[in-house]
Structure 1
């Protein structure tokens, strides 16, 4: 079975052919979970499901969802990597972390085969992005425990790129390193860090265009889905920009090609995606234009398989053939469903605000945060904290506040109270949090 599958070009498989090859992998993964995981055995038993009941994609709808917060809670109670750990510790060769719901990282375990799977999916996605063997990539994600550091580093290596493991911090020194390395280079970071790094360069009197960073690979934030924000980064650096999407807990990756018409899913044979209504949990069809939340099931995972993990990423599905020729599933990300908030009946994603603010460039930088200071219902105007360009005199701030409030009301259809902060305050070396929920959750 495995040999047959990997001898086939996954990008040419039709949907029914792909399901035919994945179905035995799914059935085997369910049997493995039931045998090895007390957590999933209890969940399946409670739902009246036996392992032999889940033998095809459609049968997954019977299975309860997995929420990251439930795994994080069990991990705090003492389990090494959570109650879904299946492989013995002697087989786990790596542990990484992902942002935890309690403020503490949730640990994830990987066997050698799991690491290989992560690298393979990542390399598929990086190829779609335009990364090629021999490209010099400066990885500016956190190497301390997070997947964007060592795990994504190995995906670049798996593809054949040359990776400089820089990490986060010391931005001024990073610019000097850029200048010292001859030839073309690539940057891997969050979109907001590219903006932050350009600001540091300007303060140091360095022209970003002189550093020969020709390709930017970005992940961790939805910023590139806003055309104005993408254009800003491209203009600042003279680079092409490419968006990478991943789930640290699963390692499944998706990426946009040169046509920037949605993320191509690259997890075939490793991960099964589903689309659900985030409010009801009902499965929705993967048809063109359908919107919902992505849910993922691992089908070749050993250390910590995940069954119907809710991503809380809200997307719009694309099924038509892409201009690049690829025919598989792709999607546009609109934001995280748990970042969405409702103001007087209007659903708001941070990307909608980001889009509006780019109409006010260069007086505003485009960096922002939305502060929700009391719990829902949000029948009040949230605070919009926005960066103002350093060369805008204070005497003009009041009129700029009024203009921003009016523009958000007209184009995003909800009211805000704008507070201006100095340039460089919001964009950071880490993921930039756009929605601040300043109340107990």
Structure 2
């Protein structure tokens, strides 16, 4: 019997503002008490700064506590293995260990207790349901297994059917749709177009797979209008965005059918703040607010984190929705630590991708921003941007100039666009790497050969 209920967890997903505050305040105080009693990392951190968890009496007091930085967690694990001094439960209670993707440095290891694994699965169920999965959904799991694929599998099994495959197995993924009847896809934002290219090379029409929804995350892209339009037209299905955080919870945000931003769906599990990334001040959450996401655990046993800075730069798009969910909605611009400063202008690589993608089908959407040197404060224009093209040689000069003009008009910096043939730039089945820091490669080469 199929389940046609509107929400996975109606009470939590439709909490009125005052009840949301009450639920989160109680959970926060309970979690902070647990942290103060069980986390050596926070005991030391708070003591050195002269603060106590008892200083927080209400949710507004959270800003009295310091931020937690990713680098601190790495250092904690280097100094106190295997999971660092921020572990808050016995190792015998740890049932799963993941590693983050290491996008911004050395990977960190994340432990989950049985309770934590169940909590992550609950959040993922809310997210998948928001995106439209139901009991008849069959989903190939093609996200990288080293991240949080197991929690996704737990959630998908609670809703429908999961087909574990992993990345790099295109024929098996195709088989899941053609032979097993899979009807949804969970992937990174850049994977669908890579998958479509693989299908077309095999003479397969992407629409023939019968995909109803593609749920994407792990990187900006699904919310970029030109990318979304191309994916939806190619596959004939909805392309919806999701987002979590490997250190906090696998899924925290998910987009509904109205596509007005990703809803916060981790009520009672994670508490979100949006801060000014320059001064660290918490911002009022209202439509139009822009800043960096900060998370605090509300129901974590193994590795609870307090005011963890994500470096994800977002904008609040809505505080209510026709779908009935009351979780605020956001869009992601990119990561503040991926941002390029060009003559004082903040440039997010995903924004460059968006501009270039508007020139499809003359371009494939695959780009690479190349940075030859590491400046103290910013890069001097023109910025070198490689773009895969699909035009005849006689059209290349005009296309190059149009892309450069569009970048200058929309992003306010000069680019030197180099058009390259299809296949020259690497394609990634996991997170697409939009920026190539040539100076880091040179430094690494010199280190190895010296």
Q: Does structure 2 conserve the Cα–Cα contact (< 8 Å) formed by 1:254 and 1:267?
A: yes
Residue in 2 that maps onto 1:404: 403
SS of the residue aligned with 1:400? helix
Q: 1 CA distance for matches of 2:23 and 2:73?
A: 30
Q: Gapped runs of 5+ residues in structure 2? A: 1-8, 444-450
Partner of 1:98: 100
Query: Aligned equivalents of 1:122 and 1:427: distance in 2?
Result: 27
1:101: Cα distance to partner? 6.0
- Per the alignment, residue 257 of structure 1 pairs with 256
Unaligned runs of 5+ in 1: 1-6
Counterpart of 1:136 (choices 133, 138, 143) is 138
Q: CA deviation at 1:347?
A: 1.6
Contact between 2:140 and 2:176, CA under 8 Å: does it hold in 1? no
Q: Residues 362-401 of structure 1, C-alpha deviation per residue, up to 9 Å, x if partnerless?
A: 1111221222222232123221121112xx2345434432
Instruction: State which of 196, 202, 226 in structure 1 corresponds to 2:224.
Output: 226
Q: Does the 8 Å contact 1:225/1:334 carry over to 2?
A: no
Deviations 1:184-222 (A, max 9, x none): 511111121111111111111111111212211111121
Q: CA deviation at 1:421?
A: 2.9
| CA contact 1:172–1:201 (8 Å) conserved in 2 | no
What is the match of residue 328 of structure 1?
A: 327
Instruction: Work out the CA distance in 2 between the residues paired with 1:434 and 1:77.
Output: 33
What does residue 147 of structure 2 align with?
Answer: 146
CA distance in 2 between counterparts of 1:69 and 1:100 reads: 11
1:120-149, Cα deviation, whole Å (9 max, x unpaired):
111111111111112000111012x211x2
Matches within 5 A, 1:39-50: 39-50=41-52
Deviation at 1:333, TM superposition (A): 1.5
Aligned counterpart for 1:213 among listed residues 207, 211, 214: 211
Q: Which moved more, 1:29-38 or 1:258-267?
A: 29-38
More displaced, 288-297 or 397-406?
A: 397-406
Q: Secondary structure at the match of 1:279?
A: coil
Number of positions where the alignment pairs a residue of Structure 1 with one of Structure 2: 430
| 3-state SS of 1:420 partner | strand
Which residue number in structure 1 is paired with residue 383 of structure 2?
382
> What is the TM-score of this pair, normalised by structure 1?
0.92
CA contact (8 A) 1:72 1:101 kept: no
What residue number does 1:434 align with? 434
Q: Within 1, Cα distance between the matches of 2:215 and 2:324?
A: 21
**Equivalence for 2:446:** none
SS in 2 for 1:225: coil
The answer to whether the 8 Å contact 1:140/1:167 transfers is yes
The 5 A counterparts of 1:54-69 are: 54-69=56-71
RMSD: 2.1
CA distance in structure 2 between the partners assigned to 1:271 and 1:333 by the alignment:
18
